[in-house]
């Protein structure tokens, strides 16, 4: 794998990594149902607002969400709804894993 190729996969990894956290996956899921401000998400998640804000900036830097300031509030919007299709695949992976573990116990 040469430098250029590694750089290419590294760029892809930035986007994938941005979603590789339970809180950020929850945020993406929540935003797929419509925009939400940081305060609403903080309430839903039940963590420090600074923590939620940092998770949002990871998603924003990866191009997955965008923000929009209105008054004192900042609303976040899912910019790339195509990521949602991926979750069906992820859930299939999980189902197969559980199936396999069941076979193993038998």
Q: Which does 34 bind (CB under 5 to 8 A by kind): a copy of itself, DNA, none?
A: none
Q: Does 55 bind DNA (CB under 7 A)?
A: yes
Q: How far apart are alpha carbons 44 and 26 in whole angstroms?
A: 10
Select the residue interacting with DNA from 28, 42, 59, 78 (CB under 7 A): 42
Select the residue interacting with a copy of itself from 69, 70, 72, 93 (CB under 8 A): 93
Tokens 């299709």 -> residue = 85
Q: Which does 68 bind (CB under 5 to 8 A by kind): DNA, a copy of itself, none?
A: none
Select the residue interacting with DNA from 3, 4, 33, 69 (CB under 7 A): 69
Over the Cα atoms of the chain, what is R_g?
A: 17
Q: What is the binding site for DNA (CB under 7 A)?
A: 17, 20-21, 23, 37-39, 42, 47-51, 53-58, 67, 69, 71-75
């Amino acid at each position: 794998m040469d430098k250029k190729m590694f750089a290419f996969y590294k760029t892809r990894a930035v986007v994938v990594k941005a979603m590789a956290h339970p809180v950020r996956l929850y945020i993406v899921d929540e935003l797929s149902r419509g925009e939400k401000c940081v305060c609403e998400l903080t309430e839903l998640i039940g963590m420090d607002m600074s923590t939620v804000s940092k998770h949002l900036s990871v998603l924003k830097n990866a191009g997955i969400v965008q923000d929009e300031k209105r008054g004192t509030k900042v609303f976040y919007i899912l910019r790339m709804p195509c990521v949602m299709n991926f979750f069906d695949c992820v859930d299939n992976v999980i189902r197969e894993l559980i199936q396999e573990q069941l076979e193993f116990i038998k």
